[in-house]
Chains A and B, each alone.
Chain A
Amino acid sequence: MSTATAANTETKPPAPAVETVRVKVDGRVVDVPRTLPDWQGKPQPTTMLQACAIAGAEVPHYCYHPKLPIAGNCRMCLVEFGTPMMGPDRKPVLSEDGSPKIARSVLPYEPGTPRGAIACATPISPGMEIYPSSPATKQMREAVLESLLINHPLDCPICDQAGECKLQEYSVEHGQAESRFAEVKVHKPKQVDLGPRIMLDDERCVLCTRCIRFSRDVAQDDALGIVNRGSHNSIAAFPGRQFDNNYTLNTVDICPVGALTSKDFRFRMRVWFLKETRSVCASCATGCNILISSREESVYRYEPRQNDAVNACWMCDSGRLNYKWIGREDRLLNVRSSRSGARAWAAVVAEIAETLRSAPQGSVAVIASARQSTEELYLLKKLAAHLGALTDSVERLGEGDGFLVNADRNPNTNGARMTGICFTEVGIQIPKIAQGIRSGRIHTLIVFGEDVTRHGIDSETLSKVSTLIVSDILPNETTRRAHFLLPGCAYAEKRGTFVNAKGRLQRFLKAVEPRGEARPEWEFLQELVHQVTGENLGPGFEALFNRMAKDVPALASAGVEWGKVGDLGAPLTL
């Protein structure tokens, strides 16, 4: 095996040289690739907008989006440019100093007036000069912005987009302090109930058609269009039809203005008060990268975070709205031992450790959840190995949609497999555990994050267990029967990693503080493992992760470390 790996690294073909084109952006020479991937990843001629981005000059735009087909309708990215002048002999005309003469783009019938081209859809050519900050470009942007704002209601104080609105951002740079518009603004439909999760304000819309293109080309639900004519143009769904697919809320993210708003989020919080935390969606095994927006320990919204290896810029509505349980009133808040009546973490953990130390080999079983972090599963496996315990996890299957929703609704099934908590086939040990309990061989059961009474261990069997150690977030039948109850954390309240369906290790960070006395499971498991096995897998989270990364073969072969996983995760070979 090692020779094969060595051969692989040696015979790796050199990366093909990227063909570049030399252009000038604001007088600065840059070499940019001749082609770049388009929204579907196919190579397409590099555009002026991309060349400017490479040169570090941002070109303002509304309708252009890197993950959508190009429409070129907002005109905001107009830039002045020039191309090398050609003589009658088809050779470049040179100026006195020997450099090629540049013919600036001008109106054909008015050669004194610069003529812009939309940077998002104009391919570059060798020797081209782009002037994203020339006075002519600036003038074009000001004119476009003024035109877009003619009928805009300017209701920023009550607009949900305020603070993350492209109209506002570009107005700072290119707007005018005073409106020249003396007429009456056109009124368009407001509070249009587009679908169960989307509210539309047509007056704020700049008709960039990002939402239409997203629905048609990405979500494959061609439900939106532009109705009416001229300044009455508005985005709409067919009368009587709902805009209701599982990806509608992405249109709110990509809407550059406040036209499309999320019914769930609108009017709930000004966006500038929100803290953003990088995390991973836990609603299925895809593991879409997300940003959690929170304020004062409350989660307000999830938004997709771009990761081209996983979810591009998108996420499904069901995953996005699956955060409300974090703030549920009936969260488990208190640690307790119903044996001794102890109600402090140190005492309860010590009591559990003592019980486990005296348990005979093979008399303990562990059922962990594949919704838990890899670190927690690793610790549970450590504990189980020491006690000779059977371990397994619970399968959670739904329907996949062929896009982002995976049929496996557990976020970390591969983490559970990798750490040895379960086999490829999840849950096959559970009947054995149930049998063991019934036969009296197993009398201590450790359950993390699952209601086992709904997953193969009925209440009657569970009542035969003499020691039931349970950690969970919300109450259920199993937590009610627990002898030791350890309140755990939602993944938004702690750090950790998940391994998604494709075997990508992705980390999530802490957005809000745990509720009540709840503690991150890895923290008290670390203590418990120390007290039971004598092995200290700390101190702290990073030491634990790095220890696990050495111990678990799939992680060791990828050579991961907490500091190296990064925001976009690391692929593993499972």
Chain B
Amino acid sequence: MTFTIPRELEAELDELATRYPQKRSASLMFLHALQERFGYVSKEAVEWTAAKLGVQPIHVWELVTFYPMFRQEPAGRHQLKVCRTLSCALGGSHKLYRHFCDRLGLDPNKHGLQTTKDGKFSVEFVECLASCGTAPVMMRNEEFHEGVSCEQADALLARCS
């Protein structure tokens, strides 16, 4: 699979790089943009970014492996992010996470993002989603859900196509 960047995205990123005193500072913005477009950050995307910003690929790779929000593999169509920071942890986020894993046939003890074999769902724990008063909270892609019970979770899964 060859890696091609749409022209308009490239133009956008080129402009972005000019906003920083050092091009390298735009690394994270590049990675966010590329993940948004392609769903994950591939090795080719890292090499492309490195060449654009005049650094070696390893130094972009350092960032990709450092930040958990960057995915090195494609995620499912529906990405379920369950908050596990203190309030949500007290409010039942582990129960919710286990529930999702059981329903989707995933291993609740495994670290990091997991995707179902059909590529439909991804489940992962994330840190604070900034709604501590309505724990447990979660996101399905860009959609926010508060006070999620197991029943509501089932209903949410049923709505996903």
Binding site for B on A (CB under 8 A): 222-229, 236-241
The smallest C-beta distance from A240 to any residue of chain B, in angstroms, reads 7
Q: Is B57 an interface residue (CB 8 A)?
A: yes
User: Is the pair B58, A225 in contact by a Cβ cutoff of 8 Å?
Assistant: yes
Residues of chain B lying within 8 A (CB to CB) of residue A238: 43, 46-47, 56-58, 61
Q: Is B8 an interface residue (CB 8 A)?
A: no
The smallest C-beta distance from B112 to any residue of chain A, in angstroms, reads 11
Residues of chain A lying within 8 A (CB to CB) of residue B55: 222
A218 CA to B24 CA, complexed, in Å? 21
Residues of chain A lying within 8 A (CB to CB) of residue B66: 227-229
Residues of chain A lying within 8 A (CB to CB) of residue B59: 222, 225
Residues of chain A lying within 8 A (CB to CB) of residue B43: 238-240
The smallest C-beta distance from B90 to any residue of chain A, in angstroms, reads 24
A226 contacts which of B46, B62, B67 (Cβ < 8 Å)? Answer: B62
User: Is the pair A222, B62 in contact by a Cβ cutoff of 8 Å?
Assistant: no
A239 CA to B64 CA, complexed, in Å? 12
A241 CA to B58 CA, complexed, in Å? 9
A227 CA to B43 CA, complexed, in Å? 14
Residues of chain B lying within 8 A (CB to CB) of residue A240: 43
A477 CA to B58 CA, complexed, in Å? 49
| Residues of B in contact, count (CB < 8 Å) | 14
The smallest C-beta distance from B111 to any residue of chain A, in angstroms, reads 10
A224 and B58 in contact, given A239-B43, A240-B43 (Cβ under 8 angstroms): yes
Q: Is B65 an interface residue (CB 8 A)?
A: yes
Residues of chain A lying within 8 A (CB to CB) of residue B57: 238, 241
The smallest C-beta distance from A296 to any residue of chain B, in angstroms, reads 42
A468 CA to B146 CA, complexed, in Å? 96
0 or 1 for each of B76-99: is its CB under 8 Å from A? (1 = yes): 000000000000000000000000
A/B interface sample: 21 pairs, CB < 8 A? A222-B55, A222-B58, A223-B56, A223-B58, A224-B58, A227-B58, A227-B61, A227-B62, A227-B65, A229-B66, A236-B58, A236-B61, A237-B58, A238-B47, A238-B56, A238-B57, A238-B58, A239-B61, A240-B43, A241-B57, A241-B58
The smallest C-beta distance from A408 to any residue of chain B, in angstroms, reads 32
Closest residue of A by beta carbon distance from B64? A227
Give the 3 A-B CB pairs with smallest separation, nearest first: A225-B58, A227-B65, A238-B57
A237 CA to B56 CA, complexed, in Å? 10
User: Is the pair B58, A228 in contact by a Cβ cutoff of 8 Å?
Assistant: no
Closest residue of B by beta carbon distance from A226? B62
Closest residue of A by beta carbon distance from B43? A239
Residues of chain B lying within 8 A (CB to CB) of residue A227: 58, 61-62, 65-66
Q: Which of B137-153 contact A (CB under 8 A)?
A: none
Which of B43, B46, B58, B68 gathers most chain A CB within 10 Å? B58
User: Is the pair B65, A228 in contact by a Cβ cutoff of 8 Å?
Assistant: yes
0 or 1 for each of B21-65: is its CB under 8 Å from A? (1 = yes): 000000000000000000000010011000000011111011001
Residues of chain A lying within 8 A (CB to CB) of residue B65: 227-229
A225 CA to B68 CA, complexed, in Å? 18
Given contacts A225-B56, A229-B66, could you give 9 more A-B pairs where the C-beta distance is less than 8 Å? Answer: A222-B59, A227-B61, A227-B65, A229-B67, A229-B68, A238-B56, A238-B57, A238-B61, A241-B58
Residues of chain B lying within 8 A (CB to CB) of residue A225: 56, 58-59, 61-62
Closest residue of B by beta carbon distance from A225? B58
A239 CA to B72 CA, complexed, in Å? 12
Residues of chain B lying within 8 A (CB to CB) of residue A222: 55-56, 58-59
